[in-house]
Structure 1
Amino acid sequence: MKRRDRIDHNAKNVMLSHVLRSWLILPMKRLPPLPALHTFLITAKCCNFTRAAEALHITQGAVSRQISGLEAHLGYRLFNRQARGLNLTAQGRELLPRIEQVFSLIEEALDQVDAKPRALQIKAPTCISRWLLPRLMQWQKERPDVPVRLTTTSAHTVDFRREDFDAAVVFGAHPGDFTHVQHLFDEQLTPVCSPSLPFSNPLSRLADLERHMLLHPTLDERDWTLWLKAARAKLSNVEQGQHFDTMDLAMTVASQGSGVAIGDWSLIGEDLSAGRLVMPFELRVRTGAAYYFVHPRGASIPSPLQDLLDWLSLQAAERRIG
């Protein structure tokens, strides 16, 4: 709940308290039945027992008895009965707007309780979906009261001034200008492939990569080039590899046995555990880029979003330790 919403909610609670105290504050006197007050409200709007009975789906006699009982409870008349119909007494006119306020607040309270929780709108780059999606599915099992709607994009950042998201995951060397920034984990490059690939064509030495198709996560070869430089290896087939738009796509193709992709160790925990991917070499190279969870500048973090952030941070910490 945003701060302004909390203020409005508190103000309405105070208003309700004043309303309840202002009508029928009679020492040691029991409050009248709610159905009778509702009957008074409907009858006062039409000033006719017959039309009130039709609106309430009860008999005219039941309306008359409820009004008479309410008047007896209060100790004063609410309506003047006349041959041509009803009209409110001075006490009735004074009571009516306060009763309307009370029922309006009750209706609003019921609507708020019955309303489905609004889904948190989260934006994330496609490259982290391999790690993020399984965790959000687990989150929804554990916290169905805090639904999340994920929007993935090839963009690595977010502009909260133009994009209507509650939070986002951004990727890069620096998270940008955001008030709330939570570091998830660093990018760590390492080759990955299908478990079946080394059986058909060995991958025990760096030189063995010459006999495999290299899969690039970008249109250039910078990720493979960076890793090979750290490994102090030179390959002649780097430029002959296949290029993809995203790392996730390159790793998916690798899992099908079509080559060796340069992947991100931080994102492939589930793939390694499930046997969809293997790491033929232990070397992991940090690129200086990282994944961050960010929230719009100048806005407080709602409690449901803070819960999600804390939970994702714990999940990310497990991968960093591993």
Structure 2
Amino acid sequence: MPIRPPLMALHMFCTVVKEGGFRQAAQRLNLTPGAVSRQIQTLEGHLKQVLFDRGGGNSATLTLEGQNLYERVADRMTELVDALNPLDHHRRHIAILVETSVTLAMHWLIPQLQVFRQRHPHVQVHVRTVDGVINPSAPVDVFIRRDPAELRGLPAQTFLAEHSVLVSNPVFASTLVLPVSKGLDWLHDVPRIGTRSRRDLWPSWSKAHGMDGKLPDPPLEFDNTVLAIQAAVQGLGVLVVPEAFIEPMLESGALKLLHPARIDTGSYSFAVGRLQASSRVSIFTDWLRECGAQ
């Protein structure tokens, strides 16, 4: 009698790869990471092969055997799941999934989406936030990253130039003495806010103004730009930050420019994550380019 293949374990295997990790797959399936891990072990025992490199902990790094298996079964498993869940299939195929960083999503993409929805009401956009190198096997339609290397070789198109400015809370700014004759030397004497995820910003500002290497590291440092912006709004110090993220705050008066200069600090690129871009994906990426050109 032939041995029946463990289809549930195979489904979980495909989900781990698509979601980018055991924890993410567990959240998707409403299971514990341990339950998912046991199913993967069952499949590995059935195949007598190791499918994942366990050195990365929660990561979903496939071995050569795992990659070969995924390439052979992923499409068939998707078809099987769609056949058994037609409503879920319909919902997935009328929406596009966009993956980007939390800062770009919160301070640039989401504020723009209302305009997109008004123009294209038939296209649903789902946004998920992930930092770092993409997982090309994830079921994502459009990846957006600042560093093109994080797009893992997918054809990338630059759509948004990044210009950074020097800002602070207006009340904090009113306490500063900014002598014109001393240029920007006053920055040595004020609290400066830094971002661990963007340690390039202060050095870029310093270099652009002839202060390369003269400023020490910022005494106040936060994990990401979202927190750094909030710290500046609360009056904790001065901040170099991409202008696109704070335009509404400048307009409302929550933040104030401390210097007229705008320095180039990079750009953002997108890559289409599926083999063939749908018409909905093309509509979205055309809109991205339009927004970036404004």
Is the TM value for this pair above 0.5? yes
RMSD value over aligned CA atoms?
Answer: 2.8
| Aligned-pair CA distance for 1:212 | 2.2
Question: Alpha carbons of 1:290 and 1:220: their partners in 2 closer, same or farther (altered >3 Å)?
Answer: closer
**Which residue among 249, 259, 266 is the counterpart of 2:237?**
259
Q: Please, which runs of 5 or more residues in structure 1 have no aligned partner?
A: 1-110
Rg comparison, structure with higher value = 1
Q: Secondary structure at the match of 1:286?
A: strand
Q: Please, which runs of 5 or more residues in structure 2 have no aligned partner?
A: 1-85
Deviation per residue, 1:106-165 (Å, 9 max, x gap) = xxxxx99xx666321110012312111101233234333211111112x2342222x221
C-alpha separation in 2, matches of 1:273 and 1:200: 21
Q: Secondary structure at the match of 1:250?
A: helix
- Report the count of equivalent residues: 201
1:214 and 2:192 equivalent? yes
Q: 1:203–1:209: 8 Å Cα contact kept in structure 2?
A: no
What is the TM-score when the length of structure 1 is the normalising length? Answer: 0.55
Q: 1:215–1:243: 8 Å Cα contact kept in structure 2?
A: yes
C-alpha separation in 2, matches of 1:134 and 1:232: 35
Q: Secondary structure at the match of 2:163?
A: strand
**Which residue among 184, 190, 201 is the counterpart of 2:165?**
190
| Aligned-pair CA distance for 1:169 | 0.5
1:140 and 2:140 equivalent? no
1:160 and 2:136 equivalent? yes
* Letter aligned with residue 215 of structure 1: I
**Which residue among 271, 274, 277 is the counterpart of 1:301?**
277
Deviation per residue, 1:273-302 (Å, 9 max, x gap) = 232322211223324x321111126x2211
C-alpha separation in 2, matches of 1:305 and 1:284: 32
C-alpha separation in 2, matches of 1:182 and 1:222: 22
| Aligned-pair CA distance for 1:251 | 1.6
C-alpha separation in 1, matches of 2:173 and 2:212: 20
Q: How does 1:95-106 map to 2 (within 5 A)?
A: none
C-alpha separation in 2, matches of 1:310 and 1:223: 29
C-alpha separation in 2, matches of 1:182 and 1:191: 28
Deviation per residue, 1:172-217 (Å, 9 max, x gap) = 15554113x3212233333222222211223465123233211111
C-alpha separation in 2, matches of 1:248 and 1:165: 24
C-alpha separation in 1, matches of 2:139 and 2:239: 34
C-alpha separation in 2, matches of 1:280 and 1:231: 14
Q: 2:148–2:269: 8 Å Cα contact kept in structure 1?
A: no
C-alpha separation in 2, matches of 1:293 and 1:134: 18
C-alpha separation in 2, matches of 1:230 and 1:237: 13
Question: Alpha carbons of 1:239 and 1:170: their partners in 2 closer, same or farther (altered >3 Å)?
Answer: closer
Question: Alpha carbons of 1:128 and 1:220: their partners in 2 closer, same or farther (altered >3 Å)?
Answer: closer
Deviation per residue, 1:194-251 (Å, 9 max, x gap) = 2222112234651232332111111785421221122113797733521111122212
C-alpha separation in 2, matches of 1:184 and 1:234: 29
In structure 2, the residue matched to 1:23 is none
Q: Secondary structure at the match of 2:145?
A: strand
1:270 and 2:245 equivalent? no
Q: 1:120–1:147: 8 Å Cα contact kept in structure 2?
A: yes
Q: Secondary structure at the match of 2:286?
A: helix
What is the TM-score when the length of structure 2 is the normalising length? Answer: 0.60
C-alpha separation in 2, matches of 1:242 and 1:176: 33
C-alpha separation in 2, matches of 1:239 and 1:292: 29
